Amino acid sequence: MKVRIPTPLRSYTDQLSNVDAVGATLNELLTDLDRQFPGLRFRVVDEQGRLRKHMRIFVGADMVRDLETVVDGSAEITLMQALSGG
């Protein structure tokens, strides 16, 4: 399935904004992304296996926080980093 990568994480994907990954759940999908692009998963998931607070994952138009969310092979996944500052 297609995964959209935010600009700050594109250094892991050779600057690709869209990549393909496989997995029945978001967790499996992130594991596949890390296999292809080492280090990417750690930027999205913390040491306890939880989604980092500044990360957002959209499955289609729905934001999800549970990494065990089942993903349909036709779904578009968007990784997004929340911005802060002022």
Return the pLDDT at 72: 86
Q: How many domains does the chain have?
A: 1
CB-based contacts of 53, cutoff 8 Å, min separation 6: 82
CA dihedral for 5, 21, 2, 80, sign (positive or negative): negative
Residue 31 inside a domain? The answer is yes
The number of C-alpha atoms within 13 Å of 35 and in the hemisphere containing its C-beta is: 10
Return the pLDDT at 75: 87
**Domain harbouring 72, CATH code:** 3.10.20.30
Residue 7 inside a domain? The answer is yes
Residue 86 inside a domain? The answer is no
The number of C-alpha atoms within 13 Å of 62 and in the hemisphere containing its C-beta is: 9
Return the pLDDT at 86: 54
Q: Which domain holds residue 75?
A: 2-81
Residue 17 inside a domain? The answer is yes
Residue 10 inside a domain? The answer is yes
pLDDT in tens, 16-66: 999 999 999 999 999 999 999 999 999 999 999 999 999 999 999 999 999
Q: What is the pTM of this model?
A: 0.91
- What mean pLDDT is predicted for residues 67-77? 91
